[in-house]
Amino acid sequence: MFEVFKKEILELLRDRKTLFFIIALPMLVFPIIVALVAFLTSQAGLKAQQQVHTYYIVNEQYADAFSEQVFYHKSFKKYQGDLKLDSVHALSEAVKLGQIDVGIFIDSDPREAIKTGKQSQWKVVFNDAKAINFTFNRINELANTSSLAVRSNALLELGVEPERQQAVLKPIVVSKVDTADKRENYGEKLGAFIPYLLLPLVLMGASYPAIDLGAGEKERGTLETLLLTPVTRSELVLGKFFTVLASSIACTLITVASLAIWVSIATRFISIDVITTAFSSVTSWDFLLIFALLLPVAAMLSSLVLAISIYARTFKEAQNYMAPLSMGIFVPIVISLLPNMELDTTTALIPITNVALAIKEIVKGTVDYGSIGLIFIASAALAALLLICCVRWFNKETVLFR
């Protein structure tokens, strides 16, 4: 078995394409993602600050102070064309045609409407599908300022003093006291995202060498030569399995190490509050625990992909079988994102889902080590079962020579 393992490892190290997917790609994934997030965040913020929108206000005489605020706002530019718009429909058509970016329809003077117990209805017309950043919020903020002024004057006329107005308008104030710290809040979101990166890379580290060691050997006609050696079939398949497992573990180790290194860089040198808050308290021990959780997953996937590769007649057929498996691994990850899905005695027994939930708990800082132990036992048991099936699979003539 050791000789088979040694032979396969040497051949694996000579394959530059496989080495790229096992070593180089996991090292590049996280710096690319961190750089991309930082770039897009900065560009989105810069674009939102610099973008100027052309506006048109219908009945602006009803709200002089508001119209003046919009006019002098750095994000808005008054329409200077010949259009005469007088309704919401007309504003909508102008927005659709690109003649204006945003239209504001004011139906009545709010100072007069409040005297009769009515509300002045203002409508903001814009194309939200074009993701015009913060347009509605900015206009709403300016409108609220005008609304507060009108309300304050109306209350003064009713004899309510300014210092009492807030208490009269809102006698009860409800505030939220969150028992979860920022790490737990952000970790809930980012921790659910990390398995999407880690688990497919673990599968990738196993699938590329497995295809070559199974279907590749069949296609080249070298499998028959190996079967003629004095090595038993069980030893032969175990040698191939440990080669695939070593490849997957190497890919896993590099992936987690890359994650730890680039998260450390991001928290120190890149100003992204979500990443900094979520990972500032994640220690080296936490990353080691994530790596340890992925080890039985690597063994499970190594057995599975090797069995598939042994069954396939050709290299191409094996690749076709791997595609659904690559998609299928996302299903248990998605399950971990379902509402109220938490790591407990039941979910700790669900393959892949349990690891995804555990990684999220580690990032949140709320990990239960009892559940971690249960995950190890369940994952190791399933990995052993899959390995036994793989060995038996390899011992069938109908599978080897189909």
Within a 10 A sphere around the Cβ of 296, how many other Cβ atoms? Answer: 21
Domain boundaries along the sequence of the chain: 2-32+181-400, 53-169
CATH 3.40.190 fits domain 53-169: yes
Helix ranges (H only) for 118-181 are: 135-157, 162-169
**Dist. CA 255–CA 31, nearest whole Å:** 11
Q: What is the predicted pLDDT for the residue at 257?
A: 84
Q: What is the predicted pLDDT for the residue at 385?
A: 93
Residue 57, helix vs strand vs coil: strand
Nearest to 138 by CA among 207, 70, 236, 194: 70
Instruction: Find the Cα–Cα–Cα–Cα dihedral 69, 71, 76, 81, rounded to 10°.
Output: 150
pLDDT at 55 over 90: yes
Instruction: Tell me the per-residue pLDDT of 204-239, one tens digit each, with 9 for 90 and over.
Output: 888 888 888 888 888 777 777 777 777 788 888 888
Q: Average pLDDT, stretch 170-186? A: 73
Q: Average pLDDT, stretch 389-396? A: 84
Q: What is the predicted pLDDT for the residue at 154?
A: 87
Percentage of the chain modeled with pLDDT above 90: 21
Q: What is the predicted pLDDT for the residue at 38?
A: 63
pLDDT at 7 over 80: no
